[in-house]
Amino acid sequence: MQINEKTAVIEAILFASGEPIEAEKIAEAAGVEKDTAIKLINILRDRYEDNKSAIEILKLGDCYQMATAEKYGEYIKAALETKKKTPLSPAAMEVLTIVAYNQPVTKSFVEQVRGVDSASIVNSLVEKNLLEEAGRVDVPGKPIAYRTTDNFLRCFRMSSIEDLPPLPNMSDQIVFDEITEE
């Protein structure tokens, strides 16, 4: 394997890791000696610096981590804050309601209640830390069950899930036939 390919392998390992990773582990995963891995990491570090890249590789003891350059921190923070302040869509509120009142539930349960694919919404709510995995259901395929989080309670100003308002009784509901008869 050529030096550019080995450097790319190490870059991929650092990027995918997201956390500090020991030089020894990087070397082992890349299939090179530790000294070679460190030299290749330094080549990457120099390349980022020469190109005035927003990416840098930090050396933390015997570990290395890919990170964004500190001078771009305010831009990243602004972008992430904008994302956090985005209000939930009606579909996301519907999914949260289904999960909150029926938890723990699977994605397929949510989809069955809603009648549409809801996997991406559930995943988005997990990313926003409003839902979390609650183990696996003991049925074929062992699907993941989801429940609301403490962050959900905080966002909706509840101390526990028991603070949810009661669901209306069927007797309080308007039936479709009542509307069409008028």
Contact 160, 166 (CB under 8 A): no
CA distances from 52 to 56, 64, 66 (A): 9, 19, 15
pLDDT in tens, the chain (182 residues): 688 899 999 999 999 988 889 999 999 999 999 999 999 999 999 999 999 999 999 988 888 999 998 899 888 888 877 656 678 899 999 999 999 999 999 999 999 999 999 999 999 999 999 999 999 988 888 999 999 998 888 888 888 888 888 887 766 656 555 555 55
Confirm whether 3-71 and 90-164 share one CATH topology.
yes
Please tell me the distance from the alpha carbon of residue 122 to that of residue 29, in angstroms, as a whole number: 33
Domain extents for the chain?
Answer: 3-71, 90-164
Q: What is the pLDDT of residue 175?
A: 59
Contact 147, 99 (CB under 8 A): yes
**Does 3-71 carry CATH code 3.90.1150.170?**
no
Class at the top of the CATH hierarchy for domain 90-164: mainly alpha
| Bond prior to 104 in cis (omega within 30° of 0) | yes
